[in-house]
């Protein structure tokens, strides 16, 4: 088993979208207005740009379309409908780097080590973890300017290795106990496990939940106005 690894984390938020089927429809002119303006505010998976895109797109939308009270629920549904284009809302992204030494030695019937068979590998494993929300199961209801969004708990969307820097840093091989490809595969699996366990312990899913609420709320308020109140319900896993 590996010793305690050295971890380096950085974070970057991002967002995508989803919509609800069977939503009430606006008249053709209003739908065209909503779609033409919201298209300018489409989410991108670069957290640094999310606020700017939503702010500008929402401001233009609000200046051009201010629905009467009877249409507020339908307007909220139309805005939420922009999320149907993506199945996931990626809330946060974290880069990590694990550097650790992985020794191995043969044993005599598991009774004691055979020191002349010892080998070791210093291995670096780097990658990017993304956590988000499954928007395919998202639901929305509205009552005037009150909006309620129901979501499943966040989860790790992906764990992608950075193969440009991942690899063996130092290898102490032994002809009596050579290092095999399957040994490296096992090291990589161990690094994936460590990276995800540390991310969960460090609150990655909590950050994804907070970011999802922020992004969805920003979309509604930017598009429809600050009088809209958004409430979230997180279903039990």
Q: What is the mean pLDDT of each run of 10 residues along the chain (237 residues)?
A: 40 34 41 40 37 46 52 72 71 95 93 94 97 90 91 96 96 94 95 97 96 92 90 94
Predicted local confidence at residue 67, as pLDDT:
55
Phi, psi at 152, each rounded to 5°: -75, 165
Packing angle between helix 181-201 and helix 204-224, nearest 10 degrees? Answer: 60
Residues 6+ apart with CB under 8 A from 135: 16, 17, 18, 83, 86, 87, 88, 89, 151
What span, in angstroms and rounded, lies between the C-alpha atoms of 212 and 130? 13
Nearest to 178 by CA among 121, 219, 108: 121
Predicted local confidence at residue 86, as pLDDT:
65
Predicted local confidence at residue 30, as pLDDT:
41
Cβ atoms of 35 and 66 within 8 Å: the answer is: no
Nearest to 11 by CA among 213, 199, 212: 199
Residue 2 CA to chain centroid, in angstroms?
28
Domain locations in the chain as residue ranges: 6-99+127-163+196-234
| Residue tagged 């969307």 (tokens) | 157
Within a 13 Å sphere around the CA of 155, how many CA atoms are in the beta-carbon half? 11
136 token code pair: 């395919």
What span, in angstroms and rounded, lies between the C-alpha atoms of 131 and 202? 13
Cβ atoms of 188 and 173 within 8 Å: the answer is: no
Predicted local confidence at residue 52, as pLDDT:
44
Indicate the pTM of the whole model.
Answer: 0.67
What span, in angstroms and rounded, lies between the C-alpha atoms of 184 and 56? 49
Predicted local confidence at residue 96, as pLDDT:
98
In angstroms, what CA-CA distances link 236 with 151, 152, 153, 217, 233?
9, 7, 7, 21, 9
Which long-range contacts does 199-202 make (Cβ < 8 Å, 24+ apart)?
A: 199/9, 199/94, 199/96, 199/129, 199/131, 199/156, 200/156, 202/9
Cβ atoms of 49 and 15 within 8 Å: the answer is: no
């Amino acid at each position: 088993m590996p010793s305690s690894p050295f971890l380096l984390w950085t974070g970057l938020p991002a967002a995508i979208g989803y919509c609800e089927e069977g939503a009430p429809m606006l008249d053709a002119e209003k739908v065209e207005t909503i779609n033409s303006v919201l298209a300018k505010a489409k989410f991108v998976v670069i957290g640094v740009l999310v606020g700017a895109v939503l702010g500008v797109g929402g401001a233009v939308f609000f200046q051009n379309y201010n629905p009467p009270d009877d249409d507020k629920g339908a307007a909220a549904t139309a805005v939420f409908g922009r999320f149907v284009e993506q199945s996931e809302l990626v809330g946060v992204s974290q880069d990590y780097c694990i550097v650790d030494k992985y020794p191995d030695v043969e044993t005599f019937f598991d009774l004691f080590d055979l020191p002349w068979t010892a080998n070791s590998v210093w291995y670096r494993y780097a990658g990017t973890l993304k956590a988000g929300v499954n928007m395919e199961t998202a639901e929305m209801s509205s009552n005037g300017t009150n909006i309620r969004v129901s979501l499943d708990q966040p989860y790790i969307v992906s764990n992608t290795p950075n193969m440009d820097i991942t690899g063996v840093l130092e290898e102490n091989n032994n002809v009596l106990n050579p290092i095999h490809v399957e040994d490296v595969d096992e090291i990589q699996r161990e690094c994936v496990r460590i990276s995800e366990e540390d991310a969960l312990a460090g609150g990655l899913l909590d950050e994804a939940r907070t970011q999802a609420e922020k992004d969805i709320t920003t979309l509604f308020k930017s598009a429809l106005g600050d009088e809209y109140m958004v409430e979230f319900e997180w279903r039990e896993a």
